[in-house]
Structure 1
């Protein structure tokens, strides 16, 4: 159990008290990414460490925390693997320099109570103590909010399955039985079962500090279903039933290939009218990209930005100019919240309190708004397909291929790392019946 060995090794005089507490936390976070929490020796190489640091950055971790996290992996390499390679000093030095610029204090000093409280945010004290601890730890380690919700939900469900809140008394056998019940009785998908397993591994690994071995469970079958997409005619039929802001979102999701979340999170500064493109910031995989600004969306976007500007003026006048920014950007640009450029293109009609920070501000519109409008339009258009907003992204890729766009260009527009992923969005609606025919249709009369 290499992580347990590391936790023993860091005790003593060789490390400061702060590192003794935080190094095991960061190493467990690293282990979740490279080996999904398994107990064997963890692979340490420059690629895995850089990927780890970038994943923390994508989730809002400031440089001083990434510096501490990489030092923890470096310490594990020295104390457990007994190696001096790979040389991580360049990564450590870069993060140290960035961290000093951010904090302007000694990076070896422990985080203050104020910093920890800010990282943990607001936690519902009505939840069981182990759930409160789990939420706090996930926020300190900079997990995404959606991941926190999913993992907490599965731990609660496992607690209900075993009929106890004292989960430290249960082991791999109990977890395997629970995962099997999800596949056999719950009939969940393979991805859902994997998510449940990841949530439980995190809880046992990072909260209880209990190493798990092999999980023997019946695995859910991997789905091979074909995603839904729409023809050009169906797109026009759907568009008729959208108005106002929802119509504009439809034009952007289909016309620019945006994900639903990317559309909702679009900021005013990233709409480039003169250049005719949209900059997608921090997309899936923490990647930025450039895509189309559809001509049919330009006038609507200008009107929508005027609406956002009115909300901005009202918020500033009433003392609610704050807007969500990742931690590092909030430190780098402390006055960005007062600038219109950083505000959402699609702001909510009312202010709301952020569940983590407790800050009262105007966030972007909720996920359900466009999803409900899409469901209504699908019903009114009488298109017999079980489509969702993401189906527009599949349609975007398919229609570009039909018009002769090469697959590598589509890959860049959609922000995919692998062209195989892009191929999963390209469907054969126009190939069948044109370039090739069914053998029945080639028979003589």
Structure 2
């Protein structure tokens, strides 16, 4: 026997029986003061007060003792699977899906002994992240977004009173920006496909996962463009193709062709492509145009089908290569792959390009996100003379 109890609105709880009920269980709910039957939605509504909840749970305990069984809540694993399906259906990125699933699992584990998960638990969880765990504002906001998505699309509830949440203290950080010579020092200490990927990062300003997700067909030498597909927010956009890397890109494509031909010869050669294309064009996964521009070294094996395929270069490999190049360059700034994106935006502004153009190239939905790079320029102090240099003679 299973019973599901969750919030219906600000004043009522919803009680349903997914697997049916007996008359004793029905009378149990009927005995709770203030209960109402919602005939349209086939559910019981019970006032959300400590008094009524205490009566409801005590009667459930009595029922369990009489029948020597435990009334089960709908399992969390089923809800996690449902959450994953909804996120996938709404075309959230794999990174966002993993992050949301992680936060919801953490939330459900913390309150696994709670029969009701509602507003109070959300507020308590988010407040604890800020007060006890000292997470950053962006981390807390991500956790909040994950929980709100879970309650709205899986629990069919709409929590909206989050005023009591103690928010993590907002800190304003200026992005790390390298000079042109420092960027050159880093790129010159890298080799092979990782160097080329880093040059694309700096030369176009696209994100790390966008670089690694490029396919052969995304490089348009005729139009001198790179097409970024399914970027952040599920949007496509076009960026310039730096002339300096065209020879290296053509060499890279030739290398990928050799790898792909060998994979086909071995009986494999499929790349992961969107399901919508796979249904319409069953052989598309083996086409060269769908292959990754930066493929991984070894083929991966699908544990279910035992088929071998080739994924793109892992993020960690490029991140480590950039980090090693920074160390070898003797640069003391905490530069990463994402720093190259910051450098692109800042250096474009220095070159006189307008903020709207840079916004489009970066793929920002809101120009205010791009405006941070104007602050980087405004706050530069190299032209300010210190009083130590002006007034003091040593």
If the length of structure 1 is used for normalisation, what is the TM-score?
0.64
Q: Which residue of 2 aligns with 1:82?
A: none
Q: Which residue of 2 aligns with 1:300?
A: 248
Tell me: CA distance 1:418–1:228, structure 2 relative to 1, closer, same or farther (3 Å): same
- Provide Cα deviations, 1:404-442, integer angstroms capped at 9, x if missing partner: 3333332333233433322223422896434xx347389
**SS, match of residue 283 in structure 1:** coil
Q: Which residue of 2 aligns with 1:150?
A: 99
Distance across 1 between alignment mates of 2:100 and 2:218: 32
- 1:428 pairs with one of 339, 356, 377: 377
1:177 Cα deviation (Å)?
1.2
1:172 Cα deviation (Å)?
1.6
Preserved CA contact (<8 Å) 1:271 1:278: yes
Distance across 1 between alignment mates of 2:335 and 2:385: 27
Distance across 1 between alignment mates of 2:227 and 2:84: 32
What does residue range 51-62 of structure 1 map to in structure 2 within 5 Å? none
- Provide Cα deviations, 1:265-302, integer angstroms capped at 9, x if missing partner: 11111212243332222222333332222233122212
The answer to which structure has the higher helix fraction is 1
1:364 Cα deviation (Å)?
0.9
Q: Which residue of 2 aligns with 1:183?
A: 130
Q: Which residue of 2 aligns with 1:110?
A: none
Distance across 2 between alignment mates of 1:358 and 1:149: 24
**1:376 is aligned to 2:324:** yes
- 2:165 pairs with one of 217, 236, 239: 217
Preserved CA contact (<8 Å) 2:135 2:168: yes
1:206 Cα deviation (Å)?
2.8
Distance across 1 between alignment mates of 2:324 and 2:229: 30
What does residue range 31-110 of structure 1 map to in structure 2 within 5 Å? none
- Provide Cα deviations, 1:337-385, integer angstroms capped at 9, x if missing partner: 2321121110111222569999742111111110111111112212111
Tell me: CA distance 1:429–1:385, structure 2 relative to 1, closer, same or farther (3 Å): farther
Unaligned 5+ runs, structure 2: 1-6, 10-75
Deviates more, 1:142-151 or 1:364-373: 142-151
Preserved CA contact (<8 Å) 1:251 1:294: no
1:178 Cα deviation (Å)?
1.4
Distance across 1 between alignment mates of 2:166 and 2:308: 45
Q: Which residue of 2 aligns with 1:391?
A: 339
Q: Which residue of 2 aligns with 1:319?
A: 267
If the length of structure 2 is used for normalisation, what is the TM-score?
0.72
**1:256 is aligned to 2:204:** yes
**SS, match of residue 278 in structure 1:** strand
**1:207 is aligned to 2:170:** no
Q: Which residue of 2 aligns with 1:171?
A: 118
Q: Which residue of 1 aligns with 2:363?
A: 415
- The size of the alignment, in residue pairs, is 318
**1:342 is aligned to 2:286:** no
**SS, match of residue 257 in structure 2:** helix
Deviates more, 1:190-199 or 1:423-432: 423-432
Tell me: CA distance 1:408–1:141, structure 2 relative to 1, closer, same or farther (3 Å): closer
Preserved CA contact (<8 Å) 1:133 1:207: yes
Preserved CA contact (<8 Å) 2:268 2:307: no
**1:231 is aligned to 2:175:** no
